[in-house]
Amino acid sequence: MTRPPIRADLAAMTGYHSPQVEVNVRLNTNESPWPPPPDFAAAVAEAARSLDWHRYPDRRALALRRVVGARFGLGPEQVFCANGSNEVLQTLLLTFAGSGRTTLTFEPTYALHSHLSRISGAVVIQAERGEGFALSAERARAEIESVAPSVTFLCSPNNPTGLVESPQTVSSVLEAVESINGLLVVDEAYGEFASWSAVELLAEERPLVVVKTFSKTWSMAAARLGYLLGPRWLVEELEAVVLPYHLDGLKQAAGVAALEFSAEMHARVVAVVEERARVSSCLVDLGCHVWPSGANFVLFRPPPAGGDSVWQALVDRSVLVRDTSSWRYLDGCLRVTIGTPEENSVFLDALADILDHDE
């Protein structure tokens, strides 16, 4: 049987995935450790009963865009919603990147920025971060002026390092992007756990968008719902590219319902931030190298056996974290999602036992 060839530039590409293992404590994919409030489930069930299933959903998802925009003092015309922040990113790249264009990332960072760029047909330039994975504004500006990318990515808090870019750094990078007529994408999938947001830099005349998700703080990873905040003209361009009726009616209703529980979301963010501080402190006490995090996870390097062997030893104790030890720049590193206090204690006790046996 003959098979049609795929595009040559995709032939060697592997898919993006996070290994799943049956364990008692799963702390590898940065999900919320708690399910949504019971009243949220009831609201979604009621929405399902009243949905006109025989009709196409609102193509523009205006009700959802109104309530999302209202949280930030923006109108619905400044909001674009899609099936997870990944589809938001993909639509951005289909619109502003693609064949003959270039995107720029600062590594290590979220792997899908490069992956989706390549799928769109763009050439990816992967610049390096500095010591401690910090991003130098001067170095970033030099890269942008040299490469002249169509799209530049900043992830803040950065995944997998947890670093939050400062307002000064983002502003400086934005100035450089403007000078070469590019687009700056600030990925804030974990933004609610940080001390500031690039949303405050948005303006109609600036080529800046901020990408967010319902997956983390809103406990809706299973729903796959994300959104973008940006200039009106840019949202209009995305609407011309995205597939028609791409966002189903139930998902739109779930997003509207979720925003009725902002107080519960904020309380969970506070709880995660408190646990993040405890976990980070305990990891330091165990002799690990710990990077400061503004997200709902912590990147660390355990001594002295190496991340891959510690990862397996944790799995043997029914605890799953993300093994990043084979990733470029992250030799020996692991990333742990902040779970419930009980889950975090199980993880820390297991790690202490492993490191004690390695002495």
Q: Domain with 349 in it: what CATH number?
A: 3.90.1150.10
Q: Do both 253 and 192 map to the same domain?
A: yes
Here the tokens at position 350 are 């297991």
- pLDDT band of residue 5 (cuts 50, 70, 90) is confident
Give the pLDDT of residue 188: 98
- Quote the CA–CA distance of 227 and 160 in Å, as a whole number: 21
End position of a domain, from candidates 260, 284, 302 = 260
pTM comes to 0.94
The total of structural domains in the chain comes to: 2
Query: Residue 255 pLDDT > 60, yes or no?
Result: yes
End position of a domain, from candidates 206, 229, 260 = 260
Q: Do both 196 and 296 map to the same domain?
A: no
DSSP annotation of 2 reads -
The mean pLDDT of the chain is 94
Q: Do both 117 and 178 map to the same domain?
A: yes
Give the pLDDT of residue 10: 77
How confident is the model over 47-63, as a mean pLDDT?
96
Closest C-alpha to 260, from 76, 79, 68, 59: 68
- pLDDT band of residue 89 (cuts 50, 70, 90) is very high
Give the pLDDT of residue 95: 98
Q: Do both 197 and 285 map to the same domain?
A: no
How confident is the model over 205-231, as a mean pLDDT?
96
Q: Which domain holds residue 344?
A: 17-36+263-358
Q: Do both 119 and 171 map to the same domain?
A: yes
Tens digit of pLDDT for each residue in 300-317? 999 975 667 999 999 999
CB atoms under 10 Å from CB of 164, counted, come to: 23
Give the pLDDT of residue 15: 66
Q: Do both 190 and 65 map to the same domain?
A: yes
Close Cβ partners of 171 (under 8 Å, ≥ 6 residues apart): 201
End position of a domain, from candidates 240, 260, 280 = 260
